[in-house]
Structure 1
Amino acid sequence: MGRIKPPKKIGPAQKIARALLSGVLQLFFWVMSTLRFKNQLEIERPCVMAVYHDELMPLIHYFRNEDVTAIASQNHFGYSIAKVMERYGYEVALGSRSRGGMDAFFQLLKAARKGKTIAFAVDGSRGPRHEMKQGAVILARKAKLPLYLIRASYSGWRIEKSWDKSKFPKPFAEVSFNYERFPMEDYADESDIEVILAAAQKRLSALQTDDYGNH
């Protein structure tokens, strides 16, 4: 998978906005360098890692410079995130349900078949929040890789106006991972993907209580 391609033609104002956004994201990545991890992710690699979008930030830092492939939206916000992630050793496929999603999925599948670990925000890029989509399950099944369901618990600030209520870690926050290997082997190849998805969704949500609650 080559380097990420920028969105199509943009004007001066968009260029400035994108540069500012990249700077802000770089600051968040610096904050994450202060995080303290209370436990380690003892997982098989390569694998597909399924995580909720709002809890993704600590996982991104944890796997920096470890040759992991991820996905970001094919828009200027996603492009800015992808450029920062590249600096931390990630490969990034750009795409979402509304734009470029199929191309991005095949990029991820190609990377998985080459032995790359894939980080997948299962309710992104537009939600609904904590509603798992099919992508990670289908990818794991097609690539014949183990699927790990991962939650991250840490203190942070919520971005209330974002669709996922993104939670950015506070400096020096302690991070605990709650995770399990989803038993894909319990399901035959012809099993209905919706049945598998429902089981994975239930287990992912049960790994920890949503600390956003009913706000």
Structure 2
Amino acid sequence: MRPLRIPWIQASLAWVLASWMRLCFVTMRWSRENEAAAQAVWDQGGGVLCVFWHSRLSLAPGAWPLDRAQPVKGLISLSADGEFLAKAMARVGFPAVRGSSANKDKAAQAKGGSQALRDGLRQLKVGGLAITPDGPRGPAGVMAEGLGVMARMSGAPVVLMGLSCNPAIRLNSWDQAILPLPFGRAAIVWDVVAWPEGGETAAVLADWTERLNAAEARADALVGAGRN
């Protein structure tokens, strides 16, 4: 049995991860660029899609200012790994909307995805929904069409979040996720987009991919982190 399928191990590790993130968030020196664009979205209230690559998931809660911005829920997969992340993120102020995972059971996957879409659209009527568009299984850096469906159906603004920190531990995972270290440097670069009227999904997601990559590259440059 995988350790993350054992409830007490899952809960204990979630507590450890959340405690580690909180320590990092309060000790890192943050740089922020183009925050005025995000501030305009926060000021207007209502729904907002918060989008960042899966590899930077551990930084996102520290970048989103809960004292000024809309409350956010994270779209997290139905897998055991997703349950672990959901527990950890809830501890740092980001409860979950559970979505489908890369389940071999196609019927269960479709059912989970449909429920996540309904719950996500419901959340976007009142606040923010955080999405890693290349999660939960990748390919890394490739936006799934689900983000386009959410943006088109909700009409919510999309806040692209380029995130980075230095120093950091880079995990040997499918997305080469980074785990911040305390007392380092961190950066958030904001970019705000919206679904264009009559937009074609592939073209819009290609544009958003380019812009998110640019924001993340700028964040890497601000903290002196190398790009892969």
With normalisation by structure 1, the TM-score equals 0.81
Query: Which residue pairs with 1:4 in the alignment?
Result: none
SS of aligned partner of 1:200: helix
Which whole-Å CA distance do the structure 1 matches of 2:130 and 2:95 have between them?
10
Equivalent of 1:92 in 89, 96, 109: 96
* Unmatched 5+ stretches in structure 2: 103-108
Equivalent of 2:19 in 24, 27, 31: 27
User: Where in structure 2 are the equivalents of 1:3-14 lying within 5 Å?
Assistant: 14=6
State the AA in 2 paired with 1:172.
F
With normalisation by structure 2, the TM-score equals 0.77
Which whole-Å CA distance do the structure 2 matches of 1:84 and 1:64 have between them?
18
State the AA in 2 paired with 1:193.
T
Aligned residues of 2:151 and 2:194 also touching (Cα < 8 A):
no
1:148 paired to 2:170: no
Aligned residues of 2:11 and 2:87 also touching (Cα < 8 A):
no
Aligned residues of 2:163 and 2:188 also touching (Cα < 8 A):
yes
Task: State the percentage of identical aligned residues.
Answer: 25
- Aligned CA RMSD, in angstroms, stands at 2.6
State the AA in 2 paired with 1:24.
V
Which whole-Å CA distance do the structure 1 matches of 2:76 and 2:85 have between them?
7
Aligned residues of 2:170 and 2:179 also touching (Cα < 8 A):
yes
1:157 paired to 2:169: yes
Aligned residues of 1:178 and 1:207 also touching (Cα < 8 A):
yes
Tell me whether 150-159 or 80-89 shows the greater mean CA deviation.
Answer: 80-89
Equivalent of 1:37 in 22, 30, 52: 30
CA displacement 1:139-195 (0-9 Å, x = unmatched): 122111111221112111100x211111011102221112211253xx323x32122
Aligned residues of 1:48 and 1:117 also touching (Cα < 8 A):
yes
CA displacement 1:35-82 (0-9 Å, x = unmatched): 222226431034111100111222212337562111112122211221
Aligned residues: 200
1:199 paired to 2:207: yes
Aligned residues of 1:54 and 1:164 also touching (Cα < 8 A):
yes
Aligned residues of 2:151 and 2:158 also touching (Cα < 8 A):
yes
Give, in angstroms, the shift of residue 97 of structure 1. 4.4
CA displacement 1:15-36 (0-9 Å, x = unmatched): 2431332233233223333222
SS of aligned partner of 1:204: helix
Give, in angstroms, the shift of residue 96 of structure 1. 2.8
Which whole-Å CA distance do the structure 1 matches of 2:227 and 2:88 have between them?
31
Which whole-Å CA distance do the structure 2 matches of 1:183 and 1:19 have between them?
37
State the AA in 2 paired with 1:165.
Q
1:102 paired to 2:114: yes
Structure that is richer in helix per residue? 2
1:62 paired to 2:43: no
